[in-house]
Chains A and B, each alone.
Chain A
Amino acid sequence: MKSPIYVIDGARTPFLKARNRPGPFAASDLASAAGRALLLRQPIQPTELDEVILGCAIPSVDEVNIGRVVALRMGCGHKVPGWTVMRNCASGMQALDSAIDSMRAGRSQLVLAGGVDALSRAPLLVSDAMVAWLSKWYAAKGVGKRAALVTELRLRHLAPVIALMRGLTDPIVGLMMGQTAENLAYRFGITRADMDAYAATSHERALAAQREGRLAHEVVPLYDTSGHVYVADDGVREDSTPANLAKLKPFFDRKYGNVTAGNSSQVTDGAAWLLLATEEAVARHGLVPKGRIVDSQWAALDPAQMGLGPVYATAPLLARHNIGLADVDAWEINEAFAAQVLACLRAFADDAFCRDELGLPQALGTIDPNALNVDGGAIAIGHPVGASGARIVLHLLDVLERRNGKRGVAAICIGGGQGGAMLVERTAS
């Protein structure tokens, strides 16, 4: 039996939709604000943490090791190490797993782990051709040589490279993430109407959760320096009905594709944290756990099918614990795309898929839609890439508590063709 890893508490910022300009907060602002609020409500001082681990897919150039930057900004002092992990969309989940490794190795007892991204602040880069031209410019001596160089400059040199678009394009197969979702839709026969219906449900559920105050403990407010406060995820829309969603144009495979901005996750800024503790730390500090992370699993697959990652990661995780889909009381599967979540559900239920791809005798079965993403997901609230993997683990524990469930699985697909899954259990209270 592995030593237990307890989740004491967690908090996240509201997820703020990117609106085609840099958002009000840098990634380290987001992570510091959520972390400070979380630590403030616990009976420990920030300086008592053993380490801080933060997942981030696109850290900005002036906070590359953002884990350390944030640890210092939260008041952890000089002596608490902080580091940053990167596993694309699962960076936040990787941070939790890295924390677990540290704790099981006996190096740490109390770790703050989570994820962040401020996608609205992803930079515009200078093209390689422009970099080459600039290097010649700086080397050129004299007005004549420089004048000659000016004649070499072309307008296309000035076109910026949008880092976010590069980040969301697979470098091996050259597909945008939305195009990998189109692949899955084609493979499993998922229609546009299926996707839009799923997306509408995500919004509906997220709205209900907001309205009923179910996120009050999870989401802490963000304050900017112009007198504004952000208290809720701002991408959730009342008008995201199937009828309205049907009006949107396909974004990735233009014209005849099915994946639209409306049935994809939103580009968003946000941060999420979990406070993890070993049994010893729980006893020493008198902490009250919400639950524990029982086990985790990583898997990999064809980058062009990356959205099925959750299936590949979940199957061995369940097998290791001798449980089936029906033994799981609540599910969080990150909604990168509606098509991708629906494809996962179909793959779980598909005999051929489970036999050929997972080496199982038959299909794993079905997941009750009412046990999956019950408060909506990234389609409604957004997907600040690095943060989502931590958010779904945190939220899953809240759902289990609310529904008096015991066991839950949080799974996430990862650009580049990977999947991650975590099995959690609520601590009986």
Chain B
Amino acid sequence: MKHWTLARDADGIAWLTFDKADATTNTLSREALAELNEALDELERNAPRGLVIRSGKANGFIAGADVTEFSEIHDAAGVREILSRGLATFDRVARTSYPTLALIRGYCLGGGLELALACRYRVVVDEPSTRLGLPEVMLGILPGWGGVARLPALIGAPAALDMMLTGKTVDARKAKRLGLADECVPPRIMDNTARGMLRTLPPRRRLSFPLSLTQAPLARRYIAQNARKRVAKRARREHYPAPYTIIDLWERFDGQPLAPAAGDPASIETLFATPTATNLIRVFHLQERLKALGKEAEADIAHVHVVGAGTMGGDIAAWCALRGFTVTLQDQAPARIAPAIERAAKLYRDRLRDPRRVRDALDRLVPDVAGNGVARADVIIEAIFENEDAKRALFAALAAKAKPSAILATNTSSIPLETIATALRDPSRLIGLHFFNPVARMMLVEVVAGQDSDARELARGAAFVRAIDKLPLPVKSAPGFLVNRVLAPYLMTAMRAVDEGVAPEAVDEAAVAFGMPMGPIELADTVGLDICLAVGRMLGGDGEAPRRLASLVEGGNLGKKTGRGFYTWVDGRAQKNANVTVPAGLGARLVDPLVAEAKRALDEGIVSDSDLVDAGAIFGAGFAPFRGGPLHYAKVPAA
């Protein structure tokens, strides 16, 4: 076997280790599954006292199926074939004559978790990197290798549906609390725990009585209805059918994905009748492509220095410290840095929970009014106010103190890099790293190439973006780069519609019906109307600014941040009138300018190919992911 090794110890326990050849990550490819069957054959011939399934990779257990093989599927029959392949294998695991145990350290996702679910026991290693989940729904598909049946049976329907319908992962301790894991132990006793359990054979975990009721037929109907209502708040069935299919499968077919016949709403055929799954898998591949763009250079970074502690600078600094870097954050006075530290503390408490890890992250984020961090930094990110002279003066001063190897980056969104770069003796050192607000949630960072930017510096910038777990998109320096450029005409068209008398709610509804995560008017209010106006002016557009936008900004009503914009904002929520009618064709009218601008950006070479344009629009501008990106959408005839 290439991918698995089978060894038996003195106790008669078999250790089956998955270490996929020529890969950094364990995925259950066709070949890996075939070999797992071979191993099972061998174990059947000579039954062990017990079997431990574990990973030979340091980074995790099993990441799931091999998504690259999905592109070979062209019809529902192909999907049925892929499903039955895994289902049969895992059913074999579930029916072995000897006890089985999955020893889970690091990520355990999708098919990986479904394999673990087929085992009698699960032991998870108590480390932050251990994450268990069934994220298939995010690819527009369903956990097809037994998860929809086995997960609810093990932990009860409410928690199981929550995991399957959101794709959220749980950590080791939560897995233990949920009953997903039998034991949660530190690495030092993980092997002993596995051995000990297979020797003593503790009773199989059973659902508590109240949770066992959730599997009863009548309860299923009720729970399924509620789950559908919750899903409907986030995703429409016509856009994202997969979560609805999962609910149907669990409710009516006990989670058996092959059971519904073609034509049933829960069938594989119905699920794959829309292009959603294909498009979301495309989005997955786009994401992998962006990640690969960060692998073309070594970042070799330990210390990040950020100048400007405003919303962007402060949040960039906080994010970098969260990702493990030492960060110095510079601004003119301590009082300007203090709010950034407060926001960082909140972010760390939300993300890290453990007070020790929160403390460590805060310890890594060092306020630095004097700018002493410049001389130590491996990356310097400028995020001060948008003023050409101030930025030029700053970079001249930074370059004088910085290490020759430091990456010099600006977060500017509106000043040409070439203008700033002339302040440097070597203008080729300057690159753009354009983050989006809110930094903690937005995955994309545009890596901006000025006319003179050095290719190696750009590659290092992209590597840094990966190192902080964001997605780098290489773009050329031109007004708006890619994301703001495609967003601007969309937002302006939306605001002109409001000027014409269409209710903001109707405009937003039209966009959401198209598949945007948030309507353009609400988005404008969230971003800040002053910023929208400035970006709109910078990108020229056709003539005058939308009237209502101009008057709101003039009146100091800048959107969410001032409590009033197009909407009134209460407790961070836009107050909307629910009863509006959406004029026919409004959705297309809003989206067409975005698509047209995306084409122009491609033609002008702002981004090197159409897939990257789509990736940028999806991860940066929130373009409906299930449509596969604006250029992909434009190629497909309207449904």
Q: Which residue of A lies closest to B373 (CB)?
A: A40
Proximity string of chain A (12-39) to chain B, C-beta cutoff 8 Å, 1 when within and 0 when not: 0000000000000000000010001100
Q: A225-245 CB contact bits vs B (8 Å, 1 = yes)?
A: 111110100000000000000
Residues of A within 8 A of B364 (CB): 75
Indicate whether A221 reaches chain B with its CB closer than 8 angstroms. Answer: yes
A40 B342 Cβ-Cβ under 8 A: no
Shortest B301–chain A CB gap in Å is 15
- Interchain CA distance A26-B514 in the complex, whole Å: 53
Within 8 A of B (CB), among A17-75: 32, 36-37, 40-41, 43, 45, 73-75
Q: Which residue of B lies closest to A26 (CB)?
A: B359
Partner of A229, one of B337, B372, B373, B376: B337
A133 contacts the other chain (CB 8 A): no
The B interface is mostly helix, strand or loop, or mixed, namely helix
**Complexed CA–CA distance, A221 and B330 (Å):** 13
Known A229-B335, A229-B337; judge A36-B342 contact (CB<8 A). Answer: no
Can you name 27 A-B pairs with beta carbons within 8 Å? A36-B363, A36-B366, A37-B366, A40-B328, A40-B366, A40-B368, A40-B373, A41-B370, A73-B360, A73-B363, A74-B363, A75-B326, A75-B364, A221-B334, A221-B367, A221-B369, A223-B337, A223-B338, A223-B367, A224-B341, A225-B342, A227-B339, A227-B342, A228-B338, A229-B334, A229-B335, A231-B334
Bound together, the chains give a CA A223 to CA B314 distance in angstroms of 14
Chain A residues, Cβ within 8 Å of B345: 225-226
Complex interface: chain B residues within 8 A of A73 (CB): 359-360, 363
Closest 8 CB pairs of A and B: A225-B345, A227-B342, A229-B338, A221-B334, A229-B334, A40-B372, A41-B372, A223-B341
Decide yes or no whether B362 CB sits under 8 A from chain A: yes
CA distance A221 to B334 in the complex (A): 7
Which residues of B sit under 8 angstroms from A225, Cβ to Cβ?
A: 341-342, 345, 362
Main secondary structure of the interface of A (DSSP, over half): loop
Least CB distance, A40 to chain B, in whole angstroms: 4
List of B residues within 8 angstroms of A45 by Cβ: 376
Q: In the bound complex, do residue A227 and residue B341 qualify as a contact, i.e. CB atoms below 8 Å apart?
A: yes
A156 to B120, CA, bound (A): 57
With a CB–CB cut-off of 8 A, which chain A residues contact B369? 221
Q: How far apart are B348's CB and chain A's nearest CB, in angstroms?
A: 9
Chain B nearest CB, measured from A267 CB (Å) = 25
Chain A residues closer than 8 Å to B362, beta-carbon distance: 225
B597 to chain A, nearest CB (A): 39
Q: Give the docked Cα–Cα distance between A41 and B375 (Å).
A: 9
CA distance A226 to B345 in the complex (A): 8
CA distance in complex: A265, B549 (Å): 60
**Residues of chain A lying within 8 A (CB to CB) of residue B337:** 223, 229
Among B326, B339, B359, B363, the one with the most A-chain Cβ atoms within 10 Å of its Cβ is: B363
Residues of B within 8 A of A43 (CB): 375
The complex places the Cα of A74 from the Cα of B335 at a distance, in Å, of: 23
A window 181-226: CB within 8 A of B: 221, 223-226
Tell me the bound Cα distance from A229 to B376 in angstroms.
Answer: 25
- With both beta carbons as reference points, the residue of chain B lying nearest to A73 in the complex is identified as B363
New A-B contacts (15) at CB < 8 Å, excluding given A40-B372, A226-B342, A229-B334: A32-B363, A36-B363, A40-B366, A40-B368, A40-B373, A45-B376, A75-B363, A223-B334, A224-B341, A225-B341, A225-B342, A227-B338, A227-B341, A228-B338, A229-B338
B335-356, CB < 8 A from A: 335, 337-339, 341-342, 345
Which B residues touch A227, using CB under 8 A? 338-339, 341-342
Instruction: Report the separation of the CA atoms of residues A45 and B369 in the bound assembly, to the nearest whole angstrom.
Output: 19
Closest chain A residue to B358 by CB distance?
A225
* Contacting residues, chain B, for A37 (C-beta < 8 A): 366, 368
| B contact residues around A228 at 8 Å (CB) | 338
Q: Which residues of the other chain, A, contact B341 by a CB distance below 8 angstroms? A: 223-225, 227
Q: How far is the CB of A66 from chain B (nearest CB, A)?
A: 14
Q: Which residues of A contact B335 (CB under 8 A)?
A: 229
Tell me which residues across on chain B come within 8 A of A226, comparing CB atoms: 342, 345
Per the 8 Å Cβ criterion, residues 371-428 of B in contact with A are 372-373, 375-376
Within the complex, the shortest CB–CB distance from A63 to chain B, in Å, comes to 11
How many Å lie between the Cα of A240 and that of B328 in the bound state?
Answer: 39
Residue of A nearest to B348 (CB): A225
- Write the B8-24 contact mask toward A (1 if CB under 8 angstroms, else 0): 00000000000000000
CA distance A45 to B373 in the complex (A): 11
* Residues of the B chain whose Cβ atoms lie less than 8 Å from the Cβ of A229: 334-335, 337-338
A residues less than 8 Å from B338 (CB atoms)? 223, 227-229
Smallest CB separation, A404 vs chain B (Å): 25
Chain B residue with minimal CB distance to A231? B334
Min Cβ gap A80→B in Å is 15
Give the docked Cα–Cα distance between A427 and B91 (Å): 80
Shortest Cβ distance from A23 into chain B, in angstroms? 17
Determine how close the nearest CB of chain B comes to the CB of A92; give it in whole angstroms: 22
| Distance A36 CA – B341 CA, assembled complex (angstroms) | 16
- B328 proximity list for chain A (CB < 8 A): 40
Docked CA distance A37–B363 (Å) = 11
**Could you say which residues of chain B place their CB within 8 Å of the CB of A224?**
341
Smallest beta-carbon distance A29→chain B, Å: 8
Cα A75 to Cα B363 in complex, Å, equals 8
Nearest Cβ on chain A to B402's Cβ, whole angstroms: 14
> How far apart are the CA atoms of A221 and B333 in the complex, in Å?
10
Q: Bound complex: CA of A74 vs CA of B363, how far in Å? A: 7
Least CB separation from A40: chain B residue: B372
- Residue on A with the closest CB to B339? A227
Contact with B along A70-97 (1 / 0, CB 8 A): 0001110000000000000000000000
Most chain B CB within a 10 A radius of its CB, from A32, A40, A43: A40
Q: Which residues of A contact B334 (CB under 8 A)?
A: 221, 223, 229, 231
With a 10 A CB-CB cut-off, give which of A36, A223, A227, A228 has the most chain B CB atoms: A223
B317 to chain A, nearest CB (A): 13
Residues of B within 8 A of A36 (CB): 363, 366
Cα–Cα distance between A75 and B362 once the two chains are bound (Å):
12
